[in-house]
Amino acid sequence: MNDPPILNHPILGEIVVLGKIARGGYASIWNAYCVEMKTHVCLKIDEKRKAETENEFRMMKLLNHPLTCQFYGEFKSGDNVGAVLEFIEGSTILDFINKNGVIKENYARYLFAELVSIIQHLHCELGMIHQDLKCENIIIDTHNNLHLIDFGFAHLDSDNLPLSYSGFGTPGYIPPEVIKGNRYTFSSDIFSIGVLLYSMLVGRLPFSGTNSAEIFHHTVTDPVNYPETISDDVIDLLDSLLDKDPIKRPNISQILLHNWLNPIIRGIKLIPSFEGLRKLDKYPDGKLDQEVLNLFNDYGYSVENLLYDINHHIDTKLVAYYLFLRNIQISNQLSNIQITLFIHQSSHSPKSTREGLSKSTPGFEHQNQAKIVQPNLSLKIKNQAPQIIQPNAVRKPNIPKAKK
């Protein structure tokens, strides 16, 4: 049996390539192990469209949110470009629903609140339009949290890209105005998260067909049909998100104030800007995390230029270590936030307005209904139903000591 191939990364050192996870239209995703950081990572390697991949890496370097896939560094291997990314154990929303059935409202409300928090970061803080929000691009991890993992078509609103760039996206998630030839806007992303929420609750896409032309036709012309199993409040929200007219769709601030989201937001005190999650970014309040800095001191590292390097997107070993350690800390804190949330929900869950909906359920449940069936590639890492972890089930930091 041959030994697995080893990538010698210029900053992170030896990375053992363990096997291919998935292959997309122009890039492949690999499971790998970083020897120095003693942790699993993902490698994303482009083989065809270097310009698009380099743009994706540029977008990922701007991200500063606990629920987006962490970017550790990029590299070149022959004619290919690639990146070392966070390994997120879990399954995509697509795989999760196809295996378990639709997601009940209590848990869907929590996941959607996390998704809105991510979109708030993209739209309001970065001016970034994602352009490909779909079930395959979001992973539910083993802590029950949602992560946005792909930014292949993302761009800044200020980039002023040609209209032809708006041809990208996935049928079923592309909004009517883009199908008609208009540009992607922030409102276009809002339509896509409406499709995502509908899919979680209903188990299928709101607009379907046997080919792209049929899907586009139904998206532009058909009303949305709802089952009797979901509440009036979430139907009201979905109607606004999936409005054919982009001007009539709510923005992120308006979504946060909707009655359906209020129980979640009140439960963990996230109004008006998701402070509970935002405090978990890479450098809260513009400063480096003191606990992580203390670990660096214990390991013998100097942190004199660390904040400058992070702010200017300079790839160094210390930047990668900081992001790795901060990511572990964020993961553990998110677990505690979620446990607090579900304790709150178990005693304060709102009652359903329709029969068949669980009235008070901490955690999550599933219903066996229609499955989402799509030919699109799913970046499955591990098809495993999440389990709520306990506060003491924390990840431990592990980096090498500084060489003297």
Among the listed residues 95, 132, 141, 289, the single catalytic one is: 132
From start to end of 329-370, where are the E strands? 366-367
3-state SS, residue 1: coil
Q: Is 132 an annotated catalytic residue?
A: yes
Per-residue tokens: 391:
């506060």
Euclidean distance between CA atoms 264 and 26, whole angstroms: 38
CA 366, chain centre distance (Å): 21
Euclidean distance between CA atoms 289 and 281, whole angstroms: 10
Q: How many residues does the chain have?
A: 404
Euclidean distance between CA atoms 127 and 305, whole angstroms: 28
Instruction: From 199, 187, 184, 188, select the one nearest 111 (Cα to Cα).
Output: 199
Instruction: From 246, 274, 258, select the one nearest 120 (Cα to Cα).
Output: 274
Inter-CA distances, 355 with 108, 365, 403, Å: 18, 16, 64
Contacts of 121 (CB under 8 A, 6+ apart): 63, 64, 65, 68
Instruction: From 174, 164, 89, select the one nearest 133 (Cα to Cα).
Output: 174
Provide the annotated active-site residues: 132
